[in-house]
Structure 1
């Protein structure tokens, strides 16, 4: 069973959903990672020390980074109603995208979404938890820097590919929803 999709991961500067500070994308075609995209983002928000402790990105790191509206024209073609977008804890990442688009008065994106936390809970019920690093470890997926948007994105993509190869696409289809 082969799958084509885009995986995404955001890190945020604060609890404000529109405070995207980094974005990672992984493009998968026929179950193979064919391209990656990573960028720091200069948010229109304050930095919270708790978030910085999690991902290590400081305000000085993004001083010269592009803003989300500068990046959006380069990536918005991945967010169409016929495109599958995958994330581990997709409600968070979908929420960041939605809030960031709204914050900058950009049109809402509509796309198909799958959450690998949800698929992992269903397909691997015996794991102690379904955090990205736990699922990746159980599947022998290298997650070098947890909470690096690109590393997390690639791991989520590999999780979904392994799930499709092991269980088929049908169990995963039941988790797809239109955003």
Structure 2
């Protein structure tokens, strides 16, 4: 089994990438591949540009990499209550190639932020729209106050309750 994980963020110090990496690596006896959305460069989407260039190469590469997964762990960053612009733009390009992006493969959706809200708004949006894009969300978890609940040095959740929630969520991918 292969789990592909990524943080929907372009930050080089992304807390969402750290959380997705932690969660995906909780699964035993699986191959884990961590993607960095910075590796999939695409121009700002427009229908006019799509007519001119066709499908953006970065979007095709991202979709090809996603296709290699048996399951996903995605942690959504939140910018002003929504997806970060870079992730939304990549997603828009990819969905023009194949709207069934996630092919009904099991997924765990996560979100975190430094604040007490834990990026709940973007997690709710991602979970609510998943079915339109072939998403098969088995569990979704918001992690509030990231730096109070995660040790960036060790790459681990420090809050026992949250750690158990994430472990149980990841186990649903293996069922």
- Verify same fold: TM over 0.5: no
Give me the TM-score of the superposition, normalised by structure 1. 0.40
TM-score w.r.t. structure 2 length? 0.41
More relative contact order, 1 or 2 (CA 8 Å, 6+ apart): 1
